[in-house]
Chains A and B, each alone.
Chain A
Amino acid sequence: MTRFLLPAVVFVLFVLEGTWFQIFVPAMEERDYTLVPRFVLIAVVLISIFRGPGIGVLFGVTLGVLYDFVYTDLLGIYMFSLGFVAYISAFTYTAVRISYLWQMVIILSAIFIFEWMTYGLYYVIGYTDMLFEDFFLIRLVPSWILNGAAALLLLYPFQRLFRKLDEYEALQQR
C-alpha cells in the first residue's frame, strides 16, 4: 500500500491541475496575467531531492508523457522538460534535505528553467509569438508566486511522505 502512495499522490496532483484548478480559478478576460499550476513539477523536484535522480527522472518522464498525451496534442515537450528538470534538480545532499529554504530555492529555480524551456520550445515550433519580456511578466512571475505558495503548502506533507517511505523500505530490508 505504502509503495503506491507516492505515484497516487502525484497523479492526483496531475489531475487537479486540469480539473479543480481550472474550475475554481478560471481565467478571466480582465486579467492580464496567466496562472499556470505546476504542482506536478514541485512534486517531481522534491522526489528528485529525496529519492535520487534515477527515480526523479522516471517520475518526470512518466508524468511528462501523461501531460503530453492528455493536455496537449504535441508529444515530447513536457516529457523532455520534466525529465530534464528532474535530473538537474537532484541535489541529494543532507544539507538540502533538512532545509526548507534550500528546497524552496531549488523549486523556484526549477520553475524558472521549466517555464523557460517550455516557452522556448513552443516559440521555436511557432505555437506562440510572445516576446520574452511579455513571457516574464505575464507568465513567469505569476507562476513563481502561485507555485511558490503551493510549494510552501506541499513541502511538509511531502517530507512526511518521504519519511514514511524510508521507514517502510527499512522495514522491508530487515
Chain B
Amino acid sequence: MPHFFSNKKLIVFMVSIIVLVALIGFSMRDRDAVTWPEKFVRDTTGIVQSIFSQPAHFVAGFFGDIKDHLHVYEENELLKSRLDEYASLAAELESVKQENETLKDIIEADESLTDYVMRQALVIHRSPDRWTETIGINKGEQDGVEQDMAVVTSEGLIGKIQTTSEFTSTVQLLSDGNRTNRVSAMVNTDDKPVYAFIEGWDEEREGLMLRKIESEAEIEEGQTVMTSGLGGVFPRGLAIGEIVEVEPDEFGLTYNALIEPAADFYNIEQVNVIERSIASLDEDLQLETEENEAGEGTENGGSS
C-alpha cells in the first residue's frame, strides 16, 4: 500500500463506508421483492450455475451410489423386516382415506389445508459463506414460484422460498439463524394436535427449536412434528421431524422442544416447491369479516 491514507483516498474511504451502511440498511428492511438488477444478475448467473451443478450432481450421485452398494445387504435386511408393517399400514391408510373422503362429502368441504400442488426443482447453488443457510433453485416466477412457499425434499420440510427472480429462487433453510425464520408447526399427540412454532436452529445440539408449547400439552420424546398450515401459505401435514428433548422455557410458562429434522439439510439435490391449493386463510378471514360487517350494517340499519 504505497500511498494509503492520502486526503483524497480518505474521502473515498469515508464515502464508501457511508454507501455500505446505506446499502445494508436498505436490504435489512423486510423487502417484499428484490430489485431488478439483483434479479437480472441472479438469472444470468443461474444459467451458468445450472450448467456447472448438473454434471456435478451426477458425479456426486455416482459416488453416492457406489457407497450405497456397499451397504445393500444390511439395508435389505432392515427393509425386509419393515415390509410386513408397511403392508398393514398401507391397507389402513387406504381405508382411512376413503373414510375421510366420505366424511368430507357429508360436510361438503372440497378443499382442505392439506391439498397442494408440487413443482420439482434442482438445487443450483448453496451460499458458500455459512453465515446464512440458503440454497438456490432453478425455478422462479415464470414457473409460478412465489415468496414464502414451502420447500420439501422426499424426507420432509427443508425451508421456504425467501426471494424469487424470473428463473431462479432462493430458499431459506430451516437451519438458518435469522429471527424471521419461523414456521407454524403442530405435534401429533394421542388426542388433539398441539400447536407451536419452529424458531431457529440450535447450534450446539444440532436440532430445530420448537417453542411456545402450551404447558398443559402432553409432549413426549419421539412424537412427530409437522406443519400446521395455520400461518402463511404452508399446507398442513408436511413432515418436519421428531422430538428428541423437552424442557421448560426460561420463564417456566411454556415448553421448548428440540427436534431432530426428518430431512437432511446438507446433501440436497432435488427439491419440491409446494403451493397450497386453498387460498390463504387471511383472505378467507377478511372476506368473512367483510360479510359480517355488511350484515351487521344492515341489522343496525334495521333496528335504528
Q: List the interface of chain A (C-beta within 8 A of B).
A: 11, 15-24, 26-29, 34, 36-37, 65-66, 69-77, 79-80, 83-84, 87-88, 90-92, 118, 121-122, 125, 127-128
Contact = CB atoms under 8 A, between A and B. Distances in A.
B1 A34 contact: no
A18 B125 contact: yes
Contacts, number: 118
Interface string B120-157: 00001111111110101000000000000000000000
A125 B130 contact: no
Contacts of A65: 41
B130 A27 contact: yes
Contact of B16 (A18, A72, A83): A83
B27 interface: yes
Given A69-B38, A80-B16, A28 B266 contact: yes
A71 B129 contact: yes
Given A27-B130, A74-B24, A76-B24, A19 B49 contact: yes
Given A20-B56, A80-B20, A70 B126 contact: no
Nearest to B55: A20
Given A20-B56, A24-B56, A128 B131 contact: yes
Contact of B177 (A11, A19, A75, A127): A127
A109 to B, nearest CB: 12
A36 B128 CA distance: 6
Give the bracket for the number of chain B residues in contact with chain A.
35 or more
B267 A26 contact: yes
B128 A75 contact: no
Contacts of B57: 23
B42 interface: yes
Chain B CB count within 10 A is highest, among A36, A73, A91, A121, for: A73
B24 A73 contact: no
Interface of B: 1-2, 4, 16-17, 19-24, 26-28, 31, 34, 37-38, 41-42, 45, 48-49, 52-53, 56-57, 60, 124-132, 134, 136, 162-163, 170, 177-178, 206, 266-267
Q: State the main secondary structure of chain A at its contact with B.
A: helix
A61 B48 CA distance: 21
A118 B131 contact: yes
B23 A24 contact: no
A111 to B, nearest CB: 13
B52 A69 contact: no
Chain B CB count within 10 A is highest, among A23, A77, A127, for: A23
B131 A16 contact: no
Please name the 4 residue pairs, one residue from A and one from B, whose CB atoms are nearest each other, closest first.
Answer: A76-B23, A18-B125, A22-B126, A19-B53
A82 to B, nearest CB: 12
